[in-house]
Structure 1
Amino acid sequence: MANDIPQPDAEPQRPDGERISPEPLLVEDTLLLLFQPDSGTIAGENILFSVLGGALLGDLALAGRAEAEQRRLSVSVHATGEGPLPDALLDAAWAFVSQKPRDVQTVLAAIGPALRGPVLDRLVERGDLSRHESRTFGIFPSTKLALASDRRAGLIARVRSALVDGETPDARTAACIALLSASGTLPQFHSEIPWSGDVYARSKTIERGDWGASAASSAVARTMNAIIANAVIAATVLPRT
């Protein structure tokens, strides 16, 4: 199966090479949110491939280029629309999905494992994170990540407004919340988003696809809900590659 998957390059190129959307993708927002500034680590590393895969499928859903269909025992993802997408990562994922409808867990296992490096590179490239190379004990190479912009703070503020203040999130913020909730990482944000029973309840409501959005967005929400609900299942039952 792996030979059928268009793989993104290790490093996003400039506009004269690989096409990169001028605006950050949902998968970029999700990884930036998961970055923990105090420790320089990423929350939920153990299931990161499925969370990022779910986020990239979410990008396709938000672009109207992928839909999920509930079948008897599984959820199937199929491609919609035609023509190139504005980003190479989206093109690679859509090309795989467009080959034939596939179980969402199969899609996540196919597209998710290759995303961490390229998405981190993009966050560094966009100036949201900085990367510092060093050597531990003067011998072992190590990499330290740090915040380099205030974009993560803006994302956190929107998530906090929805979960703590009860404001209706926009579609992208709702998708991020649903992914964080499904991954079980939200309690790790307690210093920025105070954890409580109300926060838990609101996050689970959004995770189930109730975004309080328009009818058109609700269709996207249903697709996102099907993708996200299966993302965590994929993390626990499918082997990592």
Structure 2
Amino acid sequence: MAQQPDEPSIEAGAHTPWTANSTDSPILPEDLLLLLFQPESGVIAGENTLFYVLAGAVLADLALHESVAMTTTRTGSVNVEAVREKAPPSDEILLSAWEYVSEKPRGVQTVLAAIGPRLRHPLLERLIARGDIRRENRKVLGFFNTTVLEDSQNGRRAVLLKEVRDVLVDSTEPTPRIAALAALLWASRALPQFDPYIPWNTAVIKRAQELEHGNWGAGATSEAVTRTMTAVIINSVISTAAVASPNQ
């Protein structure tokens, strides 16, 4: 299929590397996809709206590193634009999104729809290459080959899940990254699938909604701009996902 004019390229350009995090470190959408992977069944939770949620995680990652900013138009809509004063991201997935919004300011939901559809495959391949998920080939009925995904048991998913649980269940004050991750997990509408480890109850829902609106805790006062941007992104994910899959 020919690339559409507004479709961002996934090719990394020749830019000064972004030094805010190591290129070997998992980016936020990788962590989110790893959490959404269900080891018991080998499937990814929330497939119906997954690309909106992963795209939201890309934008949230850029917001956490202050590589994008939000502007309000005269009509009251919110646009996202690249911050050019900082070096572009070195990670090719984040760079692709950054380059897309660097062309011109775009509405958050426009960005979600443009960058989201092509994220699942490369993110999953990264998780497999990193050793967080295993891909196994099996025979069904002794004849048909099939591919299944399994937990690698390296412990990284368990650590992430505990950090999210600490925030949602025990009200531990999160780091900005874990706050965004927990809020995105809520936005994915897959949180009930983590019960009973993360109980699906009123207290957890209330805490998730607080994170959704940027209420991360007293220690996050200095993160006001980032919290606001992340809240806008996550609310856009929620509203877009609700329209895309109203009965989920």
- TM-score with structure 2 length normalisation? 0.85
Give, in angstroms, the shift of residue 231 of structure 1: 1.2
CA contact (8 A) 1:37 1:146 kept: yes
Farther off after superposition, 74-83 or 149-158: 74-83
Matched, 1:227 2:239: no
Partner of 2:88: 84
Q: 2: CA distance between counterparts of 1:56 and 1:95?
A: 12
What letter matches 2:158 in structure 1? Answer: A
Partner of 1:16: none
Matched, 1:64 2:69: no
Matched, 1:188 2:190: no
CA contact (8 A) 1:5 1:92 kept: no
Matched, 1:200 2:205: yes
- Unpaired segments ≥5 residues, structure 1: 10-19
Give, in angstroms, the shift of residue 48 of structure 1: 0.2
Partner of 2:175: 170
How many residue pairs were aligned?
A: 229
Q: 1: CA distance between counterparts of 2:99 and 2:117?
A: 16
Matched, 1:35 2:4: no
Farther off after superposition, 128-137 or 154-163: 128-137
Q: 1: CA distance between counterparts of 2:115 and 2:244?
A: 13
CA contact (8 A) 1:44 1:183 kept: yes
CA 1:235 to 1:197, structure 2 compared with 1: closer, same or farther past 3 Å?
A: closer
SS at match of 1:173: helix
- Unpaired segments ≥5 residues, structure 2: 12-21
Q: Which of 211, 219, 239 lines up with 2:216 in the alignment?
A: 211
Q: 2: CA distance between counterparts of 1:60 and 1:8?
A: 16
Give, in angstroms, the shift of residue 191 of structure 1: 2.8
Percentage of matched positions with identical amino acids: 45
Partner of 1:147: 151
Matched, 1:131 2:135: yes
Q: 1: CA distance between counterparts of 2:210 and 2:183?
A: 9
Give, in angstroms, the shift of residue 238 of structure 1: 6.3
Give, in angstroms, the shift of residue 137 of structure 1: 4.3
Partner of 1:2: 4
Q: 1: CA distance between counterparts of 2:5 and 2:121?
A: 19
CA contact (8 A) 1:2 1:110 kept: no
CA RMSD of aligned residues (A): 2.0
CA 1:102 to 1:37, structure 2 compared with 1: closer, same or farther past 3 Å?
A: same
